[in-house]
Amino acid sequence: MTTLGVNIDHIANVRQARRTVEPDPVQFAFLAELGGADSITVHLREDRRHIQDRDVFLLKETIKTKLNLEMAATDEMLDIAKKLLPDYVTLVPEKREEVTTEGGLDVKNNVTYLKNFVGNLKDSNIEISAFIDPVGEQINYSKEIGFNFIELHTGKYSELTGQDQYKELQRIIESAHLANDLGIVVNAGHGLNYNNVKKIASINNMNELNIGHSIVARALAVGLEKSVREMKSLITSN
C-alpha cells in the first residue's frame, strides 16, 4: 500500500513571512499525523527561508511517525543530519533563487562526490533517498552510488494535461519498474494534488508519496487534519 508523507514547509513559509513564532510547523505535524500521515517531510534549506534548525530537532523529538529530512548535499547539512539522525534523508538540488525545487538531482554527473556523501550518512545508519527525474540513467547511477530509495520527480506530470500527461505518466511507471528491478525503493512527489494523485499512487510498488502544497492549500478551507485524511483516502483506495 502506498503511504503518505506530508511536507509541512508551507506552514513555516507563513510563519517566516512575518518572522514570528506562529504558525508552528511542529504543532501542524501533529495534526497531519492525526489525519493519517505516515511520515513528516521538511526541507531544511541552506538559506533557511522556511524550516529552521529548531523545527527539525523538535520534530525529531515529538512526531510519532517518521521524519524525512530533505537537504542539499553540503558539509553543513551533513553535520546537521548526523546530529539529528532522521529516519531518512532525501538529497535534493537547491538553488537560492528558486521558489521551490525545480528538477531532480543530477546523480549521473556527481557520482564520486555523492558516493562519499551517501557513505558518510550510512555510517550513521541513516537511509538515503535521491530526488531525481524519471530517467533511466539517473536511476542506474542512483543504484551505483548506493541510495536506498529514489523519489521520482512528478513536477512535469503535474503540469501537463491530456496525452502529454499520459506520456509522462508512462515514463514515471517505466522508471518505477526499473528501480524496483534494481532493488531500489520508489517514492514520488512534487506538484501532486487531489486531481492527479491517484494514477501515481496506483503504480505497482509505489512506496510513498510526498505531498505538501496542495494539502496545506486545502487545509486553509477545511483544516489540516481533514485535508490529510482526504488525500490519504485517495492514495489508499486503489
- Tally the residues of the chain: 238
Contact 235, 2 (CB under 8 A): yes
**Element holding 44 (H helix, E strand):** none
50 is in an annotated binding site: yes
- The type of residue at 65 is T
What pLDDT is attached to residue 238?
Answer: 72
What pLDDT is attached to residue 96?
Answer: 58
Total count of domains within the chain: 1
Coil, strand or helix at 6: strand
**Element holding 91 (H helix, E strand):** strand 88-91
Quick count: other Cβ atoms within 10 Å of Cβ 72? Answer: 17
Here the cell at position 172 is 514515471
The model's pLDDT over 136-157, given as tens digits with 9 standing for 90+, comes to 999 999 999 999 999 999 999 9
- Residues serving a catalytic function are 43, 70, 190
Q: Which domain holds residue 139?
A: 3-236
The model's pLDDT over 177-226, given as tens digits with 9 standing for 90+, comes to 999 999 999 999 999 999 999 999 999 999 999 999 999 999 999 999 99
Contact 31, 224 (CB under 8 A): yes
HSE, side-chain direction, 13 A CA sphere, residue 180: 12
Mean pLDDT score of the chain? 95
Domain with residue 58: its CATH number is 3.20.20.70
CA dihedral sign of residues 221, 222, 224, 226: negative
212 is in an annotated binding site: yes
Q: Which residues pair with 192 in a beta bridge?
A: none
Q: What is the DSSP letter of 146?
A: T
177 is in an annotated binding site: no
Average pLDDT over residues 95-118: 83
Contact 91, 77 (CB under 8 A): no
7 is in an annotated binding site: yes
What pLDDT is attached to residue 80?
Answer: 98
pLDDT higher than 70, residue 100: no
